Structure 1
Amino acid sequence: MNVQPFLHLACPLDDSPLTCTGSAWVCASGHNFDIAARGYTHLLPVQHKRTRDPGDSKAMVAARQRFLAAGFYQRIADAVNRALLPDGPVAEQLSCLDAGCGEGYYLRELVAAYPQQAFALLGVDISKWAVQSAAKRDARPNWVVGSNAHLPVQSASIDRLLCLFGFPVYPEFARVLKPGGLIVQVDAGSEHLQEVRQIIYPRAKPARQPHNAPPEGFSLAAVERVTYPANLYGADIISDLLEMTPHFFRASAEGRAALSELDSIRVTVDVQVASYSRSG
């Protein structure tokens, strides 16, 4: 089997290594974290939460799952896969962390793209609903509720790290990556979903341009801009697109109502895929 769960987890309370007993993860200090019946582990202590139920809601996760399953972001997944393995499969097993994994779409696409590559996979998301959905769809990776601000991962244990439309915490990313390891980061470009933004905001502000200056301790390995049109047909899929993005909360009521009246829309997908190499 080319996919195994990533096992080098760390206790979120004292950072010591965790050992899997089969039904729980336990550290030397005796901290115990049960593996849920649905196949994931909750490693987000209450003191690391800002709200009672942080991250994407159950409805947002379901909307994103439907939208991604329809293939509208397949070209983004393809570009991410190229950046993760620019020279194709390698002989050794690669440990890969999706930091902000959502419902696991991009890790599943990675495995499908490289069936001969051996992976040890970990998905971390602050939303329990996202992690539940990911675990339900693919039981092979290790799925964890956790935070990018304090990743429950042992230092220098990761070869590849994904941060896709997420919240990068570069000091933590540098800590968990091996020397020479890669971050692959996806950020929205200035034209991303501009047609939707023009409808839902009274005064649409231009989106911020993604930057590709490498963070401290990294060098820029590659950058690719992915831009293409996507035709959405049906009010349901248009609604899913809005609900799966932060625009859902920022849009005016009038803007959401105007978008809901559409039966079709042609949107621009515009993202930057940048990879950064961890210095030795």
Structure 2
Amino acid sequence: MKVKTRQTIKAYLFMAPAIIMIVVFVFVPILDSLPLMFFDYSVLGKTKFIGFNNFIQAFCDSEFRISILNSVLFVAVVPVIQILSILLAILVNKKLRGIAIFRTLFYIPVITSMVAVSIMWGFLFDPSGLINTALLDAGLIKTPIGFLSDGKTAMLSIMFITIWQGLGYYMMLYLAGLQSVPKELEEASIVDGANSWQTLTKIKMPLLKPYIWFCSLNSIISAVGVFDVVYVLTKGGPDDATLVINYYSYVKAFSDFEFGYSAAIGAVQAVITSILSIVIFAYGKRGGGMTYSE
């Protein structure tokens, strides 16, 4: 047996446990849910085939339309988190004393459970929490702000928590990209008289395009599928201000026991995610995913 073949077999054996778990807990449930979208399936009633009625019901459902709009609106966090991550990566890429500690601190929220993060920010955003107390003591506000109870600020607060929690993850990816930039290119640009800004925009940013493409794609998928922070803090409220499609699908399945309708909502979510992903792929094909050498 060739060495390359043995290495390939070993690699698949190491991946086998993870692959088995993904197949059992991700792909099998997805395949099982596909027929459900065409049935009126409920544990409380009789199952019957209804064709596309679940989809018709969905687009006639005002709450479902609101959840779609909120999910698309949530995608607005993508450019914000990517820009901030790039700036942060540039900052921590500098050779400063103790910079490794700062990198670790920025990454801690990433490895912290989103449920724990949500609970923590729930205390901070509380009307009697630290943020309102600090603002009141500073005289910046006269009455506490209902960050999570006011429809005007609830979605923005959820977006902020998502950005805060994911910033370190994308920062590390961009940091890896910056550190892969050949030193020869930077030195050559300096010799040619380029300043730090020109080196960044003309050398480093073009080389970061594959990373930007990959991170943006991941970020969009995560934004459309946001669930845990909404579930923990707002339950889609107030007045459906934070009702996103993933949470609405959950409510229909496990609160209203309309599993067929929930499966149809999930299918629509998959289509929305695919459309947004195709846009990112199109950007990459036009040059967003090309390296500097290309």
Regarding TM over 0.5, the answer is no
Q: TM-score, normalised by structure 1?
A: 0.23
Q: TM-score, normalised by structure 2?
A: 0.22
The structure with the largest alpha-carbon Rg is 2
- Higher helix proportion (structure 1 or 2): 2
- Higher strand proportion (structure 1 or 2): 1
